[in-house]
Amino acid sequence: MKKAFITGVTGQDGYYLSKFLIDKGYEVHGTIRRSSTFNTKRIDELISQYSEKKILNLYYSDLLDPSSLNSLLQNIQPDEVYNLAAQSHVAVSFKNPHFSVSTSTNGPVSLLESVKNLGKEIKYYQASSSEMYGGVSTDYLDENSIFDPKSPYAAGKVFAHHMTKIYRESYNLFCVNGILFNHESPERGETFVTRKITRGIGRIIHGIQNNISLGNLDAVRDWGFAGDYVEAMWLMMQYKEADDWVIATGEAHSVKEFLDISFNHVGLKWEDYVKIDEKYIRPNEVNHLLGNPNKAKNLLNWKPKVSFEDLAVMMVESDLKLAEQEKVLLEKNLISKTWED
């Protein structure tokens, strides 16, 4: 049985990747940060199904603690390492640049060093990001496009991307960079714009929220489904040689388009419920990101399965159910509102 080691296992991508690898017959090992507010909600179902069977194994660790990472890798002896952990919210990286950059730079270097020193052939995946391009160009962006980061988050990712290439070329390691464009799902963090929209719609329909406050509605992104994208991660690791890969749909859509589809699905007009709040405008806005996934399509035989429209509807339907549950709990005074009204 192959072993996979995943940092960021409790995040959106960590959940979908763990599920995908377990279905492929892997033994999955993942790290969680020591925190009193730590939440394993996304993977609780996987924990209940697979932890006792030792198919899913969780460990307390931190990307900023190289000794603990090295010790874990020495004990586990994984076949594949997937580095998904990061402070991944771009806006937050402006508010807390030190932590965001440290996680995105020191963490990957610690992992790469551990992989190099382990003494066995391990494949390493680094989660790069489309934010590295900076959104200056409206053209299709591919593996050879120039990086022009516009946030602390993106700058850290550029560093990690180049370090992964350096370790690949200097030490002949199997290290890949997955440059994933925006990928969403019902498991997306609730502060990300797509999920904020669908969470708000669910609560508006059930009468427990009045409005949704957003920033730049004209921002254009290449949005796909996270479940499709983790398959691409795995395919990169099975390819005959290590390389860098753009994973995207090749379609560009604005935040307004996501609003249109999502609100239309429940028979409402978004203009009646969405407010623009300047605090959600980034200091250095990225206006347009569109990926060219032809390399992955041609060499990995990968293509996205879920369309932009189906993705929006999937997320709305999921959040309608969540809001229905929240309404019941509010009526019974079992929870209080923790969201904007």
Per the CB < 8 A criterion, the answer to whether 297 and 234 are in contact is no
Per the CB < 8 A criterion, the answer to whether 200 and 320 are in contact is no
Count Cβ atoms below 10 Å from residue 275 Cβ, excluding itself: 11
* 153 and 231 together in one domain: yes
pLDDT at position 64 is: 79
End-to-end CA distance of the chain: 49
* 12 and 37 together in one domain: yes
Domain of 315 in residue numbering reads as 193-220+252-287+307-331
What stretch of H or E contains 169? helix 152-171
pLDDT at position 93 is: 65
Per the CB < 8 A criterion, the answer to whether 216 and 281 are in contact is yes
Could you tell me what percent of the chain has a pLDDT over 90?
74
* 108 and 132 together in one domain: yes
- The tens place of each residue's pLDDT in the chain, 341 residues long, gives 999 999 999 999 999 999 999 999 999 999 987 664 457 788 888 988 888 888 999 998 888 788 888 999 999 999 999 999 876 566 666 666 777 777 788 889 999 999 999 877 899 999 999 999 996 778 899 999 999 998 888 889 999 999 999 999 999 999 999 999 999 999 999 989 999 999 999 999 999 999 999 999 999 999 999 999 999 999 999 999 999 999 999 999 999 999 999 999 999 999 999 999 988 887 777 889 999 999 999 999 999 999 999 999 999 999 999 999 999 999 999 999 988 87
* 89 and 134 together in one domain: yes
pLDDT at position 37 is: 46
In a domain, 102, yes or no: yes
CATH classification of the domain holding 267: 3.90.25.10
In a domain, 302, yes or no: no
pLDDT digits (tens, 9 = 90+) for 258-296: 999 999 999 999 999 999 998 888 777 788 999 999 999
* 164 and 261 together in one domain: no
Could you tell me what percent of the chain has a pLDDT over 70?
95
Q: Which residue numbers are catalytic?
A: 129, 131, 153
